[in-house]
């Protein structure tokens, strides 16, 4: 792999162990020189402060005012950046290398740059390092918090940076788990593993789309998986069905073959062309001219056993007698709304009593509100509160929005670090009516909202990718409330129920 700096995993592991030793033997606000540490450990810690390049993404003066040992933060941040730099290498983002990671028994990696070439260890070693680094990030966070009764703004800024590291490393660990799970499925199942292991098939699609991989020809999106799905296509079928540049034709051919060979119905979460005859339940990508990444596998779902005439049979239990009324209708639209959330309660526009003799109409907010970057957290919590109130009525709304926003893990830009504090889901609305909600007073049906969150740059949700970027989701609840928002926001709300 081409690398600016050829990192040695043994050194990173040694530094992580050193960091663990420090976190275990002194308190977060203690003087290292006065702690029960050996001279060698104290000198090493001092060299991280005085001699090593400063890697923590915050000015040294701010860190000093926070009263946190500079060497600890620099050692930690150096390890994080080294691990992240390897996993951001192009090797982890190419379609054809995915098969090597999944099928390779022993994968030894070499790093190369203008100065030298060097063995940088086995892939499994680096995968373990991804988990080790996250472990130290979580421990460092706790180490800083436990040692303090009160926190300054400088400490909160440091904690916020570590919190964002934890989010990034969590994504990395999920990627590692996906590859490990997929390898286990194949090793234990043999060459024809995919004939009977439908959960394993889902693991493969999740693993390859978690960090979208790229190729130069669209047919390679599918051909790049044929080593894993051994026997899915014959040589003749590859040359007849997996050719050309039409993403709809390629997608349909691949999932039709997978469904017929496994006897299970496989489909994609996308917009159907409506031209698939008896196989119309296989939706395809609509109008993506530049789609050359494995985002197309992000929404693959298993519908159940495949029956005759292109029908799928799934087992479901409702526990309801009679014909229940549909609670809500979900509609997908292709547009470029971005991170815009609109909501109109079923009572909006109607008159509500304001006293014994008076009444006034509930306002309808039609004018779009462009949310400032520093307000984004508060508005996101409000959106999650509304979604929870309507999609999961009767449940604990506070618990719902924490779970939903933890799954969404949004990123946005702020001008003041205090605008996105640690525990922002609760902190951004504390002291307001959106904080500790009273279900009797919070009348979601009497509200409306129209916000554009332009500061959001993305999110860590599995539902956020290039394929879903141009899709908005409209939900119509049977009471009359209507919500529209970006696909990942709305579907994380649904899956959080």
Decide: residue 140, CB within 10 A, 0-12 exposed, 13-18 middle, 19+ buried.
buried
User: How close are the terminal C-alpha atoms of the chain, in Å?
Assistant: 43
C-beta separation of 36 from 25 below 8 A: yes
Task: Report d(CA 228, CA 294) in Å as an integer.
Answer: 15
Q: Determine the pLDDT at residue 343.
A: 96
Q: How far apart are CA 69 and CA 50, in angstroms?
A: 12
In this structure, are residues 292 and 221 in contact, taking their beta carbons and an 8 Å threshold? yes
Which residues of the chain fall below pLDDT 50?
Answer: 287
Cβ contact 228:268 at 8 Å: no
Query: Between the CA of residue 192 and those of 232, 252, 262, 300, 362, what are the distances in Å?
Result: 9, 22, 10, 20, 62
Query: What is the b/e burial string over 465-495, where b = at least 16 CB atoms within 10 angstroms of the residue's CB?
Result: bebbebbbbebebeeebbbbbbbbbbbbbbe
pLDDT at 177: 86
Q: What is the CA radius of gyration of the chain?
A: 26
Residue 74 in tokens: 């620099």
Q: Are 75 and 19 in contact (CB under 8 A)?
A: yes
Residue recorded with tokens 């470029």? 336
């Amino acid at each position: 792999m081409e690398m600016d700096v050829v990192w040695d995993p043994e050194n990173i592991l040694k530094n992580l162990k050193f960091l663990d030793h420090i976190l275990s033997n002194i308190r977060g606000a203690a003087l290292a020189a006065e702690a029960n540490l050996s001279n060698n450990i104290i000198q090493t810690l001092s060299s991280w402060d005085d001699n090593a390049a400063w890697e923590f993404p915050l000015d040294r003066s701010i860190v000093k005012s926070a009263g946190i040992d500079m060497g600890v933060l620099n050692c930690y941040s150096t390890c994080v950046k080294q691990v992240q730099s390897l996993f951001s290498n192009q090797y982890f983002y190419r379609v054809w290398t995915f098969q090597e990671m999944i099928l390779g028994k022993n994968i030894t990696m070499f790093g190369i740059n203008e100065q030298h070439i060097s063995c940088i260890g086995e892939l499994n070693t680096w995968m373990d390092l991804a988990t080790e680094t996250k472990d130290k990030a979580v421990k460092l966070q706790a180490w800083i918090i436990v040692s303090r009764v009160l926190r300054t703004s400088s400490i909160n800024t440091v904690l916020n940076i570590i919190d964002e590291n934890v989010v990034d490393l969590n994504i990395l660990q999920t990627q590692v788990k996906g590859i490990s799970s997929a390898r286990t499925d194949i090793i234990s199942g043999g060459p024809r593993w995919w004939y009977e292991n439908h959960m394993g098939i889902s693991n493969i699609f999740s693993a390859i789309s978690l960090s979208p991989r790229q190729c130069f020809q669209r047919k390679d999106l599918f051909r790049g998986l044929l080593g894993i799905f051994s026997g899915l296509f014959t040589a003749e079928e590859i040359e007849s069905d997996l050719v050309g540049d039409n993403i709809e034709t390629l997608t349909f051919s691949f999932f039709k073959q997978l469904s017929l060979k496994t006897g299970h119905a496989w489909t994609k979460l996308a917009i159907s062309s409506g031209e698939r005859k008896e196989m119309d339940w296989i939706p395809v990508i609509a109008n993506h001219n530049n789609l050359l990444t494995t985002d197309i596998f992000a929404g693959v779902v298993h519908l159940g056993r495949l029956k005759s005439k292109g029908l799928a049979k799934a087992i479901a239990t409702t526990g309801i007698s009679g014909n229940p009324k549909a609670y809500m209708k979900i509609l997908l639209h292709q547009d470029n709304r971005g991170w815009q959330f609109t909501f109109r309660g079923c009572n909006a526009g109607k008159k509500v009593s304001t006293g014994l003799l008076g009444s006034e109409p509930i306002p309808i907010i039609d004018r779009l509100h462009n949310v400032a970057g520093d307000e984004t957290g508060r508005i996101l919590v409000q959106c999650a509160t509304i979604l929870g109130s309507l999609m999961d009525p009767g449940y604990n709304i506070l618990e719902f929005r924490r779970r939903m926003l933890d799954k969404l893990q949004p990123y946005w830009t702020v001008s003041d670090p205090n605008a996105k504090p640690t525990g922002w889901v609760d902190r951004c609305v504390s002291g307001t009516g959106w904080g500790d909600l009273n279900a009797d007073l919070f009348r979601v049906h009497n509200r409306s909202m129209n916000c554009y969150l332009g500061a959001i740059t993305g999110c860590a949700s599995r539902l956020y990718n290039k394929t879903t970027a141009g899709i908005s989701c409209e939900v119509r609840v049977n009471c009359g409330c209507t919500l529209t928002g970006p696909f990942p926001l709305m579907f994380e709300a649904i899956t959080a129920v």
